[in-house]
Amino acid sequence: MILVVKLRSQFSSQFVALALISVIYFSQFLALFIQGWTQLETSFSAVARVQEFCGATENENLPTEASPAPEHWPSRGHIALENLTASYALGAEPVLHGVTLDILAGAKSSLMACLLRMLEISPDSHIRFDGVDVATLPRQAVRVAVAVIPQHPFFLRMANIRDNLVPRRGERQQQQQQHSDDKILSVLSRLKMRDAVERMGGLDSPLDFDWLSQG
């Protein structure tokens, strides 16, 4: 602009207008160039991290886990557990002790439906939760008491963490004051989630999906 003002007699108005338009668009092109360069560096960094993970991560397979999988396995879905004892890490305290179970192919979903009293069971069948035969209880009471947690979570949008943890908290508090903040925080402590919730801002903060594992 200084050059145009000082040397206005030497420049044609058409070229001045073209120069001004070029200057205006130059900043936009420069911003797009910087954005593209940044995305390119981020992409290369992601590739480098994947390569490092593939090369430096220790194989989780044990020496006894080297048999090749049969061709077209699994083909039916029959599951048989025999004296299963399992823990989350080698040497850790087992979370399953001597479990023996046989589930026929195609019966897993039916078994879960029976636990929630969604299928009709014979009079001589018994399903006991903590010693109580659910066949003697109203089906609605069983479905209220037994929580089924899917792998894909469901979140209440535009709601805080407290309302997502206890969706019907307001209605229940009017009746029996069942769920206080202390109880909610106590449950979060048992689940090792209290620190994560406090980092998100506490129970009154909006639920940020990016802070939590989807599993």
Per-residue pLDDT tens digits for 77-91 = 888 889 989 888 878
DSSP E strand boundaries for the chain: 79-86, 96-103, 128-129, 132-133
d(CA 121, CA 104): 17
Cβ neighbors of 181 (< 8 A, separation 6 or more) are: 162, 203
Reported as a single tens digit per residue, the pLDDT across 84-133 is: 898 888 788 888 888 898 888 878 788 888 888 888 888 888 888 888 88
Is this structure's pTM higher than 0.75?
no
> Cβ of 123: how many Cβ atoms within 10 Å?
6
Both tokens of 58, joined, read: 């220790």
CB 168 within 8 A of CB 121: no
pLDDT at residue 189, rounded to an integer: 92
